[in-house]
Amino acid sequence: MSLPFSIDQFLDVFRLYNEAVWPAQTILVILAVSAVLAAYNQRFTRAPAGILALLWLWMGAVYHFGFFRSINPAATLFAALFIIQAGVFAWYAFVRRTLAFERPRDRVHLAGLALIAFALLGYPLAGWFAGHRYPAAPTFGLPCPTTIFTFGLLLLARRPLPRAVFVIPVLWSIIATTATVQLGMVEDFTLLPAAVIAAGLAFRRARREGELRLA
């Protein structure tokens, strides 16, 4: 199924967004780094999940509803899904209190750090080599790099990790990758592999620990 917009229109949405929200991009990166640091500090066990909730609320309300909707009617649905995901993070962190971060102790966190580093550094570099120049380029705080960051941060979370937190990010990875194939956004081809790595590692760890408890 063809997209209702061209690559030029897509990149122009990034330009309009980046020019309108500056310097929010820098603040969002600072929040992301703060979330990673908080994951290693036992005094702030809920803070990373709270920051994830803010990031997904921002992507839903500001980017999807405020900008992407101008060229893609489906963005209204995407906005709703992203806002729901923000609520999922808040629910499991502050109501159910089953999503927390307490100084990762296993090797899975190394994969998480690799995904985080790619989202913050590798992704924009890949975009630069692909010819996408600021402001007409995806920055952190937009869906694809921030979803990769989300997968990485979740791998730093205390186990057991609620599986529900993966549903919408994985769904978005599939949707975005379908569009990526048509648009040729090279940097976004990393989104689905990030989803597979993160969800696979998280579920494998949960299953292994369940087997150990049974033993």
The shares of helix, strand and coil residues in the chain, as percent rounded to the nearest 5, are 75, 0, 25
The residue extents of the domains of the chain are 7-214
Residue 146 CA: distances (Å) to CA of 4, 11, 93, 185, 215 = 24, 17, 19, 15, 38
Name the β-bridge partners of 142.
140
Name the β-bridge partners of 140.
142
pTM, 2 dp: 0.95
Residue type, 101: F
Residue 77's CB is within 10 A of a number of other CB atoms, namely 13
DSSP strand E in the chain: where? none
- Nearest residue to 62 via CA among 45, 43, 83: 83
**215 residues of the chain, pLDDT tens digit each:** 689 999 999 999 999 999 999 999 999 999 999 999 999 998 999 999 999 999 999 999 999 999 999 999 999 999 999 999 999 999 999 999 999 998 877 788 999 999 999 999 999 999 999 999 999 999 999 999 999 999 999 999 998 889 999 999 999 999 999 999 899 999 999 999 999 999 999 888 767 665 434 33
